[in-house]
A and B are shown apart, each in its own frame.
Chain A
Amino acid sequence: MTEMLSGGEILIRALQDEGVEHIFGYPGGAALHIYDALFKQQRVEHILVRHEQAATHMADGYARATGNPGVVLVTSGPGATNAITGIATAYMDSIPMIVISAQVPHDVIGTDAFQETDMIGISRPIVKHSFIVRSASEIPWLVKQAFYISTTGRPGPIVIDVPKDTTDPNELFEYSYPKSVSLRSYKPALKGHTGQIRKAAVAMLKAKRPVIYAGGGVVQGGAEEELVKVARLTGFPITNTLMGLGSFPGDDPQFLGMLGMHGTYESNNAMHHSDLIIAVGARFDDRVTNNPVKFCPGATIIHIDVDPASISKVIPADIPIVGPAKPVLTELHAALEAELEKHPIDQSSLDEWWRRIQLWRDEHGLDHDQRSRKSESGQLLPQQVIQAVYRETNGDAFVTSDVGQHQMFAAQYYRFSKGRQWINSGGLGTMGFGLPAAMGVQFAVPDATVVCITGEGSFMMNMQELSTCMQYALPIKVVNLNNQALGMVKQWQDMQYGGRYSHSTYSDALPDFEQLIESFGHCSFTARSIDELDAVVEEAFSPALKDKLVFINAYVDPDEHVYPMFVRGGSLEDMVLSKGSA
């Protein structure tokens, strides 16, 4: 017997059949038929947010923590436009996401109807693909395609725009969900080219100064284990991009730390002086390369990426390999093992290379225990806060961040050991991402410790979600590095604009965070010194507060800068290492 369902019911049913457990959304006129269909079922839990942007970041955090697409439901017009920043964030970081935007009915599309906006048009440059529903009967097929496209190849967000008439509860259609999907115009690479992989293996075994440069593609592709195997087999030094952190154990001696604008001295130097770079799931972002003309002058480039358009986009690849990180690294490992019988690794060159790296590390490597360091003003240092949180959580928490200095401090000093553990907006750099992303993670992994490292500027961009946290009892630990300014902006103004703080400070206009947080029924602590910090961090993560959202307001030295930092327009080895050293 065939089931007869309305368009709204078909949509929800298709999501159920796709295995969706959570939808992050906000109702409104054009979405009400869909919301009524949601009301009549229990299999999908809908999370009511306070702002649609937060819904997209929650779905994004959910997706980054699990690898499964996050699902968003918003109404037409402002609901849809509010979702745009979150869609762009997911697009830039290749995160699978399905955004269902309600639309005004077909017969009024184009008439400037109430809450009408051209969502397909507005979202076009920031989605992997988008669909507009023409009839309820095509909803199952569109949903099936949306999930398939979103999660395969280079993942990304998909918008499904649903005109209200296609969800009419009075019009019923036969329901069946397609079992498989195949599109003649979309055939993502499933494995790499064997010949190219062998070529890469041979080049690797001939290298004297190799570096493995691994990015978010390794995390998204679930290829952490395969990456570690290749690194162990070769003994090559390895660095991560901001998006790749956690794909290789952060406290391992073979790990050079993050590279790029605020990368470690040893990783940026190793890259610059390398003769072979093995890029995996990384896209040579400008925050990594600095000036592309001066990038790694002596290096042969192996570039493994699932997206052919990423290869040779910024830096020409000598050995391009199109394919997902996991099968390519598996095959590369096998090819290396086979080639090793014929060409052993040039161990003496590699040892010499490690000696040079160790010198860089000894000279200016990051100090992972800054407890006893004193700032000029005697105030708490942001690095000390990250390190205290790292110790207290045994380096094991899911950590989300917002954007700015705190993000870089977290990336540098919380030494991630697993993929998906570090969740931040790398490509778009979206302030306001941290709290809702942490919420999405907490929904995905309810028992995990989820920490949101933020700054007061970013936090205030989406702090309305404290109310959502109250509603769903989300025990997130928010660590606010409060420097009473837009720290990264201020740092640039210090370094490049003669200390003219144009609209980057607001210290006399900040809320009393303790009162603010407590008014939402959460717990708040303040720390101003290292001793206070220790006590507060211990209490915040204590079993007694396991079920509570805890906000740590840590007043940190507003004059602290993030170092190392690129010299603008320079090569990777051109770094400012401390104030006054430029």
Chain B
Amino acid sequence: MRRLLAVLLENEAGALSRVIGLFAQRNYNIESLTVAPTEDPTLSRLTLLTEGDDEKIEQVTKHLNRLIEVVKVNDLTDGAHIERELMLIKIRAEGNGHREEIYRTCRIFRGDVVDVTPDSYTVQLTGPTKKLYAFMRAIGETSILEVVRTGVSGIGRGDKILEL
């Protein structure tokens, strides 16, 4: 089962390596990982996408909590939540017809063209992972030159917040 964990972590050198080390050491899987400081500069927030049944996720959560620098762990997939990922994608766009087609598709997906050359567009697209895949399918493999994705960030819906 796909799980999205939100982790508040002391914003200290070496803290992230302990989280990653734990996953390697205990044979847990990391699908994607995003991390950056929060509004409180002493805290970083991680969003970690992993895979596992309830028992496994319980163990992952417990072991994360055991790390001294981990302040809080929350399984976002337990409740309603929002997931977003940002993708920068460089697309071959040659000849008027093709360029227009790419641009139209981009607008349908609410992407922004952030860089242009005579032969390519670089598009910025935000959304749930599924939407990014859908866009890539719509563009077609042969037109995609380069893809970079941030990995998933997530936040709970409603008034509930992850705090100390």
Q: List A residues at the B interface (Cβ < 8 Å).
A: 120-121, 124-125, 128-130, 132, 149, 183-186, 307-309, 312-313, 316
Contacts and interface: CB of A to CB of B under 8 A. Distances in A.
Interface residues of B, number: 19
B131 interface: no
Residue with the highest number of chain A CB atoms closer than 10 Å, among B17, B58, B66, B71: B66
A312 B58 contact: yes
A185 B14 contact: no
Given A120-B14, A125-B21, A184-B164, A309 B71 contact: no
A312 B70 CA distance: 21
B14 A132 contact: yes
* Most chain A CB atoms below 10 A, which of B10, B58, B62, B70: B62
A124 B18 contact: yes
Contact of B21 (A124, A128, A308, A313): A124
B66 A307 contact: yes
A255 to B, nearest CB: 32
Nearest to A183: B68
A121 B62 contact: no
5 contacts: A121-B17, A129-B68, A185-B69, A185-B70, A312-B58
B59 interface: yes
Interface of B: 10, 13-14, 17-18, 21, 25, 55, 58-59, 62-63, 65-66, 68-71, 164
A553 to B, nearest CB: 41
A132 B164 CA distance: 25
Ranked 3 nearest A-B pairs via Cβ: A309-B62, A185-B71, A129-B68
Contacts of B69: 185
B48 to A, nearest CB: 17
Nearest to B14: A120
A124 B59 contact: no
B67 to A, nearest CB: 8
Given A185-B10, A185-B68, 14 more contacts: A124-B18, A125-B21, A125-B25, A130-B14, A132-B14, A149-B68, A183-B68, A184-B71, A184-B164, A309-B59, A309-B63, A309-B65, A309-B66, A313-B59
Contacts of B66: 307-309
Contacts of B63: 309
Contacts of B65: 308-309
Nearest to B71: A185
A124 B17 contact: yes
Contacts of A184: 71, 164
B31 to A, nearest CB: 22
A185 B18 CA distance: 14
Contacts of B21: 124-125
Contacts of B68: 128-129, 149, 183, 185-186
A185 B71 CA distance: 4
A186 B68 CA distance: 6
Nearest to B59: A313
A307 B18 CA distance: 18
Contacts of A149: 68
B61 to A, nearest CB: 9
Contacts of A128: 68
A130 to B, nearest CB: 8
Nearest to A310: B62
Contact of B55 (A125, A186, A307, A312): A312
B122 to A, nearest CB: 34
A210 B15 CA distance: 44
Nearest to A309: B62
A430 to B, nearest CB: 19
B6 to A, nearest CB: 15
Contacts of A307: 66
Contacts of A129: 68
Contact of B62 (A125, A132, A186, A308): A308
Q: Determine which residue in B14, B21, B55 has the highest number of CB atoms from chain A within 10 A of its CB, and name it.
A: B14
A184 B164 CA distance: 8
Nearest to A316: B55
A428 B28 CA distance: 22
A121 B13 CA distance: 12
A130 B55 CA distance: 29
Nearest to A158: B68
A2 to B, nearest CB: 27
Nearest to A313: B59
A309 B65 CA distance: 9
Contacts of A125: 21, 25
Contacts of A124: 17-18, 21
A316 B14 CA distance: 33
Contacts of B62: 308-309
Contacts of B59: 309, 312-313
Contacts of A183: 68
Contacts of B18: 124
Contacts of B71: 184-185
Contacts of A132: 13-14
Contacts of A316: 55
Contacts of A121: 17
Nearest to B164: A184
Contacts of A186: 68
**Residue of A129, A149, A316 with most chain B CB atoms under a 10 A cut-off:** A129
A423 B13 CA distance: 36
A498 to B, nearest CB: 33
B1 to A, nearest CB: 18
A150 to B, nearest CB: 11
Contacts of B13: 132
